[in-house]
Amino acid sequence: MWILNFLTSSLGKKLIMSLTGLFLIIFLLVHLIGNLQLLFGDNGEAFNVYAKFMTTNPLIKTTSYGLYFFILLHIVQGIVIWLTNKSAKQSRYAVAPKNTSWASSNMATLGIIITVFLAIHLWQFWFKMKIGAIPPVNIGGEEYTNLYAVVHEAYQNIFFVIFYVVSMVVIGLHLSHGFQSAFQSLGLNHKKYTPLIKGMGIAYSILIPLGFAIIPVWMYMMH
Amino acid sequence: MKLTLKVWRQKSKDHKGSFENHQVEADDHMSFLEMMDVLNERLISNKAEPVAFSHDCREGICGTCNMVINGKPHGPSKGTTVCQLHMREFKDGDVIVIEPWRAAAFPVIKDLVVDRSSFDRIIQAGGYISVNTGQAQDANAIPIEKDTAAQAMDAATCIGCGACVAACPNASAMLFTSAKVNHLALLPQGQVESSRRVRAMVKQMDEEGFGACSNTGACEVECPKEISITNIAAMNRMYMGAVIGAQDQV
């Protein structure tokens, strides 16, 4: 089958990494905008209403299944590429070459750390919500899951705050290469727009993780 | 100048290699290969086995001399091959670590010599134009835009040395393959077969056991001909188009 041959070729695998990566890049922005509602100082009313909308709206529910699938595909495909690339290199040089950015040659390591972060992050909030372990709260006469309370409680623990901030640095490093790399894999490289893509990549890899990191730090400081 | 060389010695593909230390006296005007010649002459007169290294034209156009010098394919000078590297780039007392290209698809034959026939097989898969008849036509008979001709020429400067593979943390041959694919596809004579060519060459590249490109850009930093990774992007585009649009299978 031509499509399978394509998707299992080295270029096809990179295309999958690129497309799933771009999807996750967009997801991060949406996720951040939604989560900034944690900082509203309204005891989490806006955030809890938003959380209910995100878990009940059929369109968003459907997209979220796509998201789970793309995250898994990105992880599995990334590991497959990492293993093939390791066996293609076989041995290392006695003097380590310095011709790449650190992030670009350690994408797999960064990715594995992010996977561990993701597992902890999902278990902490998403999984608890899914199994219905979170007590409800009454907002304007209607019942909502009090996800805000769980987040608020987690961020009173300094170790979780540090864990989240450090994880955001790792995501920033992963994005610093991944953002522009995704476009190169799609074949988009031109002197007219590549400097713009690279600039956007740097800005994105700083601003998005910074936005996420502010949330636990702020909530810890405000109590 | 007095130099300490740490040279990779390996009897054959199946033997395990290791570094061997040598002291060499060199002067500023020597090329790196001439310095290696001095070492080998001494080894031969001492009835020791000389260090095997590959070389041919010694003027930077054949792509035969392959050594990783202090972690850099073709050594510290930018845009040069080892034969064009001069000892004035080093100073008295330097320790120079010399290793072969390291990639599964480039097995070491002996010492610093690697087998690069995997590159030949990528070319055999499609890196040519199937026109076997007639005379070469007049140079300006087919109009080609200056920009296009310049891009094709830039890609065609690839000497197939393998520094891109040696530099790549994934041992990917994308820069080499894409340079070959593009220099042919950009010109009208090569354009005709470009769809089949890119598919066949990528397939062969994967079969040879080269890694996948992760866009680190190490290859274009070390390429002695300074070929740009825009060629890789162009091949990515061309490959996708060819796979989706082609009627035939490769």
- What tens digit of pLDDT does each residue of B84-111 get? 999 999 999 999 999 999 999 999 999 9
φ/ψ of residue B216, rounded to 5 = -75, -25
**Whether B92 contacts B1, CB under 8 Å:** yes
Instruction: Give A86 to chain B, closest Cα distance, Å.
Output: 6
- Residues in Cβ contact with B22 at an 8 Å cutoff, skipping those fewer than 6 apart: B4, B5, B7, B39
Q: What is the separation of C-alpha B161 from the centre of its chain, rounded to a whole number of angstroms?
A: 2
Give A 173-212 residues with CB within 8 A of chain B. Answer: 177, 180-181, 184-191
Q: Cβ of B216 and A105 within 8 Å?
A: yes
Residues of chain A with pLDDT under 50: none
Query: What are the start-end ranges of the H helices in chain B?
Result: 32-45, 117-126, 146-156, 163-167, 174-185, 188-191, 194-207, 218-222, 230-245
pLDDT for res A200: 98
pLDDT for res B131: 78
Whether B229 has its CB under 8 Å from any CB of chain A: the answer is yes
Name residue, tokens 């009940």.
Answer: A56
pLDDT for res B141: 87
Instruction: Give A112 to chain B, closest Cα distance, Å.
Output: 16
Please name the helix (run of DSSP H) or strand (run of DSSP E) that holds residue B108, with its range, or none. Answer: strand B108-110
Give B 102-141 residues with CB within 8 A of chain A. Answer: 102-105
- Structure token pair of residue B9: 């010695």
Instruction: Give B41 to chain A, closest Cα distance, Å.
Output: 26
Please compute Rg for chain A using Cα positions.
20
Q: Which CATH class is domain A14-89+105-222?
A: mainly alpha
pLDDT for res A193: 96
Nearest by CB to A88, from B68, B99, B103: name it: B103
φ/ψ of residue B73, rounded to 5 = -60, 130
Q: What's the half-sphere exposure (Cβ side, CA atoms, 13 Å) at B230?
A: 15
Bridge partner residues of B98 (DSSP): B7, B69
Name residue, tokens 């490289």.
Answer: A189
**Mean local confidence (pLDDT), B119-133:** 92
Q: Cβ of A97 and B236 within 8 Å?
A: no
CA pair distance A14, B241, nearest whole angstrom: 15
φ/ψ of residue B5, rounded to 5 = -100, 135
Q: What is the ipTM of this complex?
A: 0.92
Q: Where are the domains positioned within chain A?
A: 14-89+105-222
Residue type (1 letter), B22: H
Instruction: Give B232 to chain A, closest Cα distance, Å.
Output: 7
pLDDT digits (tens, 9 = 90+) for B41-77: 999 999 999 999 999 999 999 999 999 999 999 999 9
For an interface test with B, which of A79, A95, A104, A191 has the most B Cβ atoms less than 10 Å from its Cβ? A95
CA pair distance A96, A55, nearest whole angstrom: 48
φ/ψ of residue A48, rounded to 5 = -65, -35
Please compute Rg for chain B using Cα positions.
20
User: Residue B250 pLDDT > 90, yes or no?
Assistant: no
**Mean local confidence (pLDDT), B234-238:** 97
Which chain A residues are Cβ-neighbours of B203 within 8 angstroms?
9
Closest CA to B8 of B111, B95, B84: B111
Closest CA to B82 of B55, B110, B109: B55
Whether B243 has its CB under 8 Å from any CB of chain A: the answer is yes
Instruction: Give A99 to chain B, closest Cα distance, Å.
Output: 5
- Residues in Cβ contact with B40 at an 8 Å cutoff, skipping those fewer than 6 apart: B50, B51
Q: Map out the domains of chain B with their CATH numbers.
A: 2-109 (3.10.20.30), 116-245 (1.10.1060.10)
CA pair distance B116, B215, nearest whole angstrom: 23
pLDDT digits (tens, 9 = 90+) for A145-178: 999 999 999 999 999 999 999 999 999 999 999 9
pLDDT for res A15: 96
Q: Cβ of A89 and B214 within 8 Å?
A: no
Instruction: Give B89 to chain A, closest Cα distance, Å.
Output: 18
**Whether A69 contacts A20, CB under 8 Å:** no
CA pair distance B171, A84, nearest whole angstrom: 10
Nearest by CB to B230, from A81, A95, A189: name it: A189
**Whether A150 contacts A156, CB under 8 Å:** no
Cα–Cα separations (whole angstroms), residue A80 to A75, A88, A144? 9, 12, 41
Q: Residues in chain B, how many? A: 250
Nearest by CB to B211, from A85, A91, A187: name it: A85
3-state secondary structure of B24: strand
Which chain A residues are Cβ-neighbours of B205 within 8 angstroms?
10
Which chain B residues are Cβ-neighbours of A185 within 8 angstroms?
213, 215, 236
Q: Cβ of A91 and B233 within 8 Å?
A: no
Instruction: Taking the CA atoms of B235, B237, B243 and B245 in sequence, report the sign of the dihedral they define.
Output: negative
pLDDT for res B229: 97
Nearest by CB to A88, from B19, B105, B232: name it: B105
